Amino acid sequence: MAQSAADRSVDVLIVGAGPTGLGAAKRLHQLKHTNFLVVDAQAEAGGLASTDVTPEGFLFDVGGHVIFSHYLYFDDCINEALPKPDDWYEHERVSYVRSFDQWVPYPYQNNITMLPVEQQVQCIEGMIDAAEVRSRAATKPANFDEWIVRMMGTGLADLFMRPYNFKVWATPTTEMQCEWLGERVAAPSLKLVVSNVLNKKTAGNWGPNATFRFPARDGTGGIWKAVAKTLPQERFQFDTKVEKIDASNKVAHLSDGSKVSYRSMISTMPLDQITEISSELEPLRSTSRELVFSSTHVIGVGIRGVLPPRIGDKCWLYFPEDDCPFYRATVFSNYSPYNCPQADVKLKTMQTADPSLSSKVDTTTERGGPYWSLMLEVSQSKQKPVDEENLIAESIQGLINTGLLQPEDEIVSTYHRKFYHGYPTPSLVRESQLKVLLPELREKYSIWSRGRFGSYRYEVANQDHSFMVGVESVDNILFGANELTLEYPDLVNSRRNTERRL
């Protein structure tokens, strides 16, 4: 059968222009391999690290993203894309947990001095019991819940870790493994916790994102649009979806009716979806369909007025309790003043936070700012259903319940976007699934399934990780090099990777 004029042949077909796809494209371009193509269903680069703009001019990332890096190569690439000092703001993380109507500094387990005395005692007794259990334990924890109880005790488990993690993952902690944890969860020091309680002190910042960078303009998505601009534009094809894959013959059928043949494919589409669009991959479907994930709803609220003192310099906030549907809120206007319309922009008030008070304010006249904004995240799964139709209203009520909004606050913009694939869950059987799926796709069909949902490894799914997974997949294709980030998450998360530069 003769090929149409639109058909083409490439050495490497990259599906998706998010961080992983751009990492792969950047590495190919650096190595002067020109015969590659990046195909993306969206209109621009960014993927799950993109940024949306409301009609009123408020920016909202499609999830809580900040830049902190384990790799100099990654730093080189984004600094090349956004090279000027005023391209960035640098922040110290100011983060709290809302618990018992208090703002408890993060990490919660190191700052129980902020809790009522009864709960302090509950946590300390649980930590003492946990220390005794650890001293006798001969085996590793069987799941995330056992890890929590063994490392923190039942007090912290019941007050924070169990309810919060269910709100995040929409999966019970008993159904998750604990190998993914690495640097993401701080194991508390009993001595430090008791000392802080007795001295009425709080612990300082902890973790790899204690300081972070954020782009001055265009949100997180602006980073990836800028990275894409450092690459040959003829290598990209946007607004185009891969609808079918002839895996045996290495041909991708695109939504515009064209076909692309390839020697190797780097696919960032969800691993459970790629098996559905290829008849040859049908034997893998039963395994891929059992991969566990949750959906994420991102809710944005734009507010008229001066940022109130109760918000101050807060960055992101955690919510384990059931008085709000969201598990995390980000004061997105604190990341950059350009995440909101400027004060001279005139907007109508849509409603007050408490809708019953809306009749008391002018909702017909366009008026100026200043403005500030909150971005919320809500998880969803079969085990944790969500009333999608009423989610914005429930979230705004949750903001009142938790003290982030006052009933009379004027809301001038709202945003809601659902991501069907939100979090790849480290389930108890994930490793056995990946050991079947990833090698079979690569070795038999030359498909490197990579990225946040392409390889389902949450522990290496931050922006820097995802980018380097793309870089390293190219090195594996061309040179047979090890994919350190994918294969050794603990290694790359335990040190600064300086051996590779742009």
Secondary structure of 354-369 in HEC code, one letter for each residue? CHHHHHHCCCCCCECC
Residue % of the chain over a pLDDT of 90 = 82
Q: What pLDDT score does 205 carry?
A: 59
Tell me: cis bond preceding 107? Omega within 30 of 0 counts: yes
Mean pLDDT of the region 362-373: 96
Which tens digits make up the pLDDT trace of 482-502? 999 999 988 888 776 666 767
Q: How confident is the model at residue 182 (pLDDT cuts 50, 70, 90)?
A: low
Secondary structure of 239-271 in HEC code, one letter for each residue? CCCEEEEECCCCEEEECCCCEEEEEEEEECCCH
Distance set, CA 42 to CA 46, 224, 225, 238 (Å): 9, 13, 12, 6
Residue 295 has pLDDT above 50, yes or no: yes
Q: How far is CA 387 from the centre of its chain?
A: 22
| Among 69-83, 193-207, 371-385, the least confident range | 193-207
Residue 189 has pLDDT above 90, yes or no: no
124, two tokens: 């300390």
CATH 3.50.50.60 fits 8-49+220-290+426-493, yes or no: yes
Q: Which residue has the higher pLDDT, 200 or 166?
A: 166
**What residue segments make up the domains of the chain, in order of their start?**
8-49+220-290+426-493, 108-199, 293-424
Q: What whole-number distance in Å separates Cα of residue 286 and Cα of residue 158?
A: 35
Mean pLDDT of the region 380-392: 97
Residue 225 has pLDDT above 80, yes or no: yes
86, two tokens: 């005023």
Are 467 and 74 in contact by the 8 Å Cβ rule? The answer is yes
pTM of the predicted protein model: 0.93
Residue 61: other Cβ atoms inside 10 A: 24
What is the residue-wise DSSP string for 370-423?
Answer: -EEEEEEEEEEBTTB---GGGHHHHHHHHHHHTTSS-TTPEEEEEEEEEEEEEE
Q: How confident is the model at residue 172 (pLDDT cuts 50, 70, 90)?
A: very high
Q: Which residue has the higher pLDDT, 134 or 409?
A: 409
Which tens digits make up the pLDDT trace of 388-415? 999 999 999 999 999 999 999 999 999 9
Q: What pLDDT score does 160 carry?
A: 96
Residue % of the chain over a pLDDT of 70 = 95
Q: What whole-number distance in Å separates Cα of residue 406 and Cα of residue 388?
A: 24
Q: What pLDDT score does 1 carry?
A: 35
Residue 2 has pLDDT above 60, yes or no: no
CA nearest 189: which of 254, 124, 117?
Answer: 124
Which tens digits make up the pLDDT trace of 296-345? 999 999 999 999 999 999 999 999 999 999 999 999 999 999 999 999 99
Mean pLDDT of the region 59-75: 88
Quote the mean pLDDT of the chain.
93
| Among 15-29, 98-112, 364-378, the least confident range | 98-112
